[in-house]
Structure 1
């Protein structure tokens, strides 16, 4: 590490929301800096192919720069773009996607879809808070990690979390600090349905009656369901109330999806509804269509598709989620959906579902993308693919495969602001044969 007191011009924004500059031809990523700014760097951390620093002083400000709403911005790693207005954030995300398409996939969409945006604050209904008892401070910290992941940010509130939790981080810290097991609470998982907000405390040892009573009293006082997780994901048990029914509605499809506190659901409820509507629009479903939905999770897309298509097959790697998808189909009176558990990172071309005929394909893979699946799908007869992505690099790579190997055209693509104020780029793309 060297302290250089360099002044640099910021020319671009990186995929993780840092400014990009060059010193003697070498790229420097500068936290807290925006394109068009001139900044004085703090300490420069050197690496072989790039360097890293922070903006110590903004000498020339970007006209787009705004005051971050959160007092913890710059220390907490939860957000990286609060110094940009939301409309500039989404434009930067579209730029990242376009650059990835060009550089990695060697493709470009025929047209760009209007970005999907929503309420930029208080949107996070799912998240994991780190917890750390700091004996020196006689205080329990509850929040996201700092930029240095060894430390938990000392947060009073979080503006991106649902207010029921985001406004109570200091209260949660005081609660954990009052427990006998204060040093054995590792994290708190947040999961909110439409009616219930649940907090799952990861307790590394059994709790005393006094600690259990304190947690119940906190839940009752603030209207929060409290659960404990003494072991793996299957060990979660409700503490208060006895039953914690969690579900969210997709009103446009008349569907209600039940889930459990540790299940994967989309973080942003409003954006999830807009995203489903756009996916259905791009799929252009007919009553005669047979659709394959890969990486289907709880049936977030599968069940709305089933309302419009003749038949839909959902495939997901996690057997527990497949079981819940089936329960959700029954719960919503849907007969035309079938579900299979299969590891989609492995070769599944020998399975009956992979060999069947489909008119349309929906992909919603994890960050790693769908490379393994695209070795053997889509088969002949599947002329339309809608790809929902949480990582622009893997989408760009897979777009290249669909275009060059499978004979598709990238008809349209667009970004969705699922995670305002963070550098996460969620996107959707339409391919036609």
Structure 2
């Protein structure tokens, strides 16, 4: 039986082409609106199917030739077949649609999208490594689409060029190690002055391994770390006198030290623009008391404190809070900042009230959003301005519904941040004001 063909009507929030066939919705990976696609379904449910486009019969005006030869097999990117400007526009529509459909809110204005270079943006990555006896080789890279197999990669255009160029050499290095089959991942962190590769070694290395690592580090000008167990066990192996791992926010005269296994923004260039926009919208003034919820290492806390406002950063991880204190001291901002450990997913009005009054608040939660925090904010005495940075339009919309329709805030503006080009991932920022 031949594979079916369908006309693509629109694009889903995940970047799949949407078609309707015999009363069913078909989500077709690799297809774009206005195209006719032949597809093969890999998941069938009573009301919908997930499918892969097997051929396209008429190219959409949005279609471009993917830059990467591994695109379509590697699961790292999902939208390289779509023109970059069209990707940004599609993400803006996802945000507007979520705010409308889930949040029952509409911003007074849509902000221009924040976007930057389409390639070489990924300063953090976790590469998998595996000895594949059948192929007689070691693979190092991202997983294949919808698979636990590792893609056979020789280059990657979303990684910085100097890292992409190392992929074949990394495969050779792992192949020569005594623990070549006990080394499942390599974590990558690119800083302002150093690139760190963290090898997850499930067994001790020997002297010959050390010499291999040393030669590799010298040749590629990187620092090698080992990680025998969890992220906290990572330590530098060679060279020990490498510069510290940092990212810079020159607009605020801030240098953020970080460890290669700690959470930091993947796209340093876009992070700088995002922080600048968030601080501009927050408009912190000397003497104001401001809360930075889900503060991490202080990515927003320290730039806000540069204004002279006093900032309380709250975060669920004791380790991140300790590191945020260190960052504040490193930048001479410890007199304007304080940090505390708190489970913000379990916030209640009494607990929030105990923290005292905040003039303004910045919220930057993970994908789960900040629903209990939004519910805890007092409609009468809550901060007059809230800037919400989101990595999930659906949870932002859900929380916006509470802030606007329950707590009485006005959604002044919202817009997207294209932090992850060529993927369907949507970051966004929203401004809520007590009129």
Into which bin does the TM-score normalised by the smaller protein fall? over 0.9
- Following superposition, the deviation at residue 351 of structure 1 comes to 4.4
For 1:53, the equivalent position in structure 2 comes to 51
For 1:414, the equivalent position in structure 2 comes to 415
- Following superposition, the deviation at residue 243 of structure 1 comes to 4.7
Deviating more after overlay: 369-378 vs 249-258: 369-378
For the Cα contact (< 8 Å) 2:352–2:376, is it kept in 1?
no
Distance 1:206 1:277, change over 3 A: same
Q: TM-score, normalised by structure 2?
A: 0.96
For 2:226, the equivalent position in structure 1 comes to 228
Asked if residue 345 in structure 1 is aligned to residue 345 in structure 2, the reply is yes
SS in 2 for 1:399: helix
For 1:359, the equivalent position in structure 2 comes to 359
For 1:387, the equivalent position in structure 2 comes to 388
- Following superposition, the deviation at residue 55 of structure 1 comes to 1.0
For the Cα contact (< 8 Å) 1:342–1:348, is it kept in 2?
no
For 2:117, the equivalent position in structure 1 comes to 119
Asked if residue 260 in structure 1 is aligned to residue 259 in structure 2, the reply is yes
What is the rounded CA distance, in whole Å, between the counterparts of 2:372 and 2:223 in structure 1?
Answer: 40
What is the rounded CA distance, in whole Å, between the counterparts of 2:269 and 2:148 in structure 1?
Answer: 33
In the alignment, which of 191, 194, 198 is matched to residue 193 of structure 1? 191
For the Cα contact (< 8 Å) 1:105–1:399, is it kept in 2?
yes
- Cα deviation digits, residues 178-201 of structure 1 (max 9, x gap): 112111111111111100110000
What is the rounded CA distance, in whole Å, between the counterparts of 1:243 and 1:320 in structure 2?
Answer: 24
What is the rounded CA distance, in whole Å, between the counterparts of 1:153 and 1:168 in structure 2?
Answer: 16
Asked if residue 325 in structure 1 is aligned to residue 324 in structure 2, the reply is yes
Give the unaligned 5+ runs of structure 1.
none
For 2:430, the equivalent position in structure 1 comes to 429
For the Cα contact (< 8 Å) 1:4–1:41, is it kept in 2?
no
Asked if residue 400 in structure 1 is aligned to residue 401 in structure 2, the reply is yes
For 1:72, the equivalent position in structure 2 comes to 70
Distance 1:173 1:378, change over 3 A: farther
- Following superposition, the deviation at residue 43 of structure 1 comes to 4.2
What is the rounded CA distance, in whole Å, between the counterparts of 1:375 and 1:247 in structure 2?
Answer: 36
- Following superposition, the deviation at residue 234 of structure 1 comes to 1.3
What is the rounded CA distance, in whole Å, between the counterparts of 1:314 and 1:348 in structure 2?
Answer: 17
For the Cα contact (< 8 Å) 1:133–1:140, is it kept in 2?
yes
What is the rounded CA distance, in whole Å, between the counterparts of 1:366 and 1:413 in structure 2?
Answer: 18
Distance 1:207 1:57, change over 3 A: same
**Aligned residue runs from structure 1 range 94-109, under 5 A:** 94-109=92-107
What is the rounded CA distance, in whole Å, between the counterparts of 2:142 and 2:169 in structure 1?
Answer: 15
Asked if residue 134 in structure 1 is aligned to residue 135 in structure 2, the reply is no
- Cα deviation digits, residues 149-200 of structure 1 (max 9, x gap): 3111111010001122122111111111111211111111111110011000
What is the rounded CA distance, in whole Å, between the counterparts of 2:126 and 2:57 in structure 1?
Answer: 37
- Cα deviation digits, residues 361-383 of structure 1 (max 9, x gap): 10000000001211212561411
**Aligned residue runs from structure 1 range 4-83, under 5 A:** 5-83=3-81
For the Cα contact (< 8 Å) 1:291–1:309, is it kept in 2?
no
SS in 2 for 1:271: helix
What is the rounded CA distance, in whole Å, between the counterparts of 2:171 and 2:278 in structure 1?
Answer: 40
For the Cα contact (< 8 Å) 1:361–1:378, is it kept in 2?
no
SS in 1 for 2:312: strand
What is the rounded CA distance, in whole Å, between the counterparts of 2:303 and 2:353 in structure 1?
Answer: 20
Deviating more after overlay: 48-57 vs 374-383: 374-383
Distance 1:292 1:34, change over 3 A: same
SS in 2 for 1:185: coil
For the Cα contact (< 8 Å) 2:226–2:235, is it kept in 1?
yes
**Aligned residue runs from structure 1 range 224-303, under 5 A:** 224-243=222-241, 245-303=244-302
- Following superposition, the deviation at residue 34 of structure 1 comes to 0.6
For the Cα contact (< 8 Å) 2:17–2:27, is it kept in 1?
yes
- Cα deviation digits, residues 67-89 of structure 1 (max 9, x gap): 00001111111101111121111
For the Cα contact (< 8 Å) 2:348–2:375, is it kept in 1?
no
SS in 1 for 2:134: helix
C-alpha RMSD over aligned residues:
1.4
Structure 1 runs (4+) greater than 4 angstroms displaced: 348-354
Asked if residue 157 in structure 1 is aligned to residue 155 in structure 2, the reply is yes
For the Cα contact (< 8 Å) 1:349–1:355, is it kept in 2?
no
